[in-house]
Amino acid sequence: MRPGINSDQTERIIQALKRAGYQATPNRRLVAELVAATGGHFTAAELLERGRRERVNIGRATVFRALELLASLRVVERLDLPSGSHAYVVCDPDEHHHHLVCSTCGRSEDIADGELARLVDEIGRRNGYRIEAHRLELFGICPACSAADTAERETLA
Amino acid sequence: MRPGINSDQTERIIQALKRAGYQATPNRRLVAELVAATGGHFTAAELLERGRRERVNIGRATVFRALELLASLRVVERLDLPSGSHAYVVCDPDEHHHHLVCSTCGRSEDIADGELARLVDEIGRRNGYRIEAHRLELFGICPACSAADTAERETLA
DNA sequence: TCGGAATTGATACCCGGTCTCATTGGTGAT
DNA sequence: ATCACCAATGAGACCGGGTATCAATTCCGA
């Protein structure tokens, strides 16, 4: 992990906590760091495991609570993978967006809503629904994994 | 429930099962009927409960298995509600589509992919991802619930 | 009618997440 | 510095949705 980049992000998360009136306790700092240290998605169980490597006594509930808190601040978002399981991703709390997730390495990109808003409006109008929320999730192979994949294929051939 | 409409749909589900080489057992017929009898989404637990009202000894696993089977045939799809819980909806197995779900009554409409495909392509290209799957979910208030809501509001006023 | 495969029910289990509750720690007013 | 109080924590029980196991049944084709 590149310290410069991630400690920035850690700090941003901590600030978000404080701004919302929550304490920046050591546990929450730890979770913030771990979250910031992943470029992609992670499960609660993974995070817990990583957390326990640094602070043995951190409770399962504490990790879930921290994640829930971060989710409520929109610093983190929970996504539903095609497999049916859940994962969390760090993301930009400031604007409505969607996620593009690499199914190989788990890396995730924020996608601006863009034209989708128009499309969603139109669908609502056409069906007479008052739309309250929408969610778009994209899954695929990221450039790096794509490259790695073809490289491997070539070595085998 | 209107027999004409739903027995058609029940039959379609049964046919799909047979076509795929599965037996149309009494249990599966029951599940098919129950599924067809709902206009909107339902949880596995609800379905089980309704099932037990008609056939006391139907097992929980059997219901889950039937649902899983129908899902694999794309007759039914599992969706992730904003609340985080899961629900199932009946839907058209023949073409890729998305769902518009009423958050009040649970009714659900199939939405054709339409322009979305183009948008998805473009996002993939822009990010260098090879997109494998995408999912759009819309939540809102259906016309009927909207109407009921304003009606109630007026009586109160 | 028979034999093997498919289906079933009961039940134990698993996993992600939440609840409870007693303890600990932090914070702000004094 | 002290104290009172609320926020946060850990342990562990609990819960809900779903799956695995396994023996008993049912179905279907020969």
Question: Per-residue pLDDT for A25 more than 70?
Answer: yes
Interface contact flag, A78 B100, Cβ < 8 Å: no
- Are A16 and A55 in a shared domain? yes
In eight-state DSSP terms, residue B77 is E
Q: Are B48 and B60 in contact (CB under 8 A)?
A: yes
Task: Give whichever of A152-156, B100-104, B126-130, B148-152 has the largest mean pLDDT.
Answer: B126-130
Interface contact flag, A140 B130, Cβ < 8 Å: yes
- Are B65 and B130 in a shared domain? no
Q: What pLDDT digit, counting tens, does each position of B46-100 carry? A: 999 999 999 889 999 999 999 999 999 999 999 988 888 899 999 989 999 999 9
Q: What pLDDT digit, counting tens, does each position of B9-34 carry? A: 999 999 999 999 999 999 999 999 99
Q: Are A108 and A41 in contact (CB under 8 A)?
A: yes
Interface contact flag, A138 B146, Cβ < 8 Å: no
In angstroms, how far is D30 C1' from B23 CA? Answer: 18
Give the bases of strand D that a protein CB approaches within 7 Å: 7-13, 16-21, 26-28
In angstroms, how far is C11 C1' from A17 CA? Answer: 45
Print the domain residue range for A105: 95-157
Distance from CA of A28 to the nearest CA of B (A): 23
User: From CA A135, how far away is CA A137, in angstroms rounded?
Assistant: 7
In angstroms, how far is C27 C1' from B81 CA? Answer: 39
Q: What is the pLDDT of residue A98?
A: 95
Average pLDDT over residues A7-22: 93
- Choosing from A44, A73, A93, the residue where a domain stops is A93
Q: What is the pLDDT of residue B154?
A: 80
Q: Give percent of chain A with pLDDT exceeding 90.
A: 75
Number of domains in chain A: 2
- Are B152 and B84 in a shared domain? no
Interface contact flag, B141 A127, Cβ < 8 Å: no
- Are A85 and A117 in a shared domain? no
Q: What is the pLDDT of residue B157?
A: 67
**Angle of helix A60-72 relative to helix A3-19, nearest 10 degrees?**
80
- Choosing from B40, B74, B94, the residue where a domain stops is B94
Task: Give the dihedral sign, CA A73/A79/A84/A85.
Answer: negative
> Which residues of chain B have a CB within 8 Å of the CB of A44?
none
In eight-state DSSP terms, residue A95 is S
**Angle of helix A3-19 relative to helix A26-36, nearest 10 degrees?**
130
User: From CA B79, how far away is CA B139, in angstroms rounded?
Assistant: 11
Task: Residue B137: name the closest of B91, B70, B94, B68 by CA.
Answer: B91
Q: What is the pLDDT of residue A151?
A: 87
Q: What is the CATH number of the domain that holds A147?
A: 3.30.1490.190
- Choosing from B47, B62, B94, the residue where a domain stops is B94
- Are A86 and A119 in a shared domain? no
Quickly state the pLDDT bin for A155 (edges 50, 70, 90). confident
Q: What pLDDT digit, counting tens, does each position of A79-121 carry? A: 998 888 899 999 989 999 999 999 988 899 999 999 999 999 9
Three-state secondary structure call for residue B112: strand
Q: What pLDDT digit, counting tens, does each position of A28-85 carry? A: 999 999 999 988 899 999 999 999 999 889 999 999 999 999 999 999 999 998 888 8
The answer for residues whose C-beta is within 8 angstroms of residue A58's C-beta and 6 or more apart is: A27, A30, A48, A51, A52
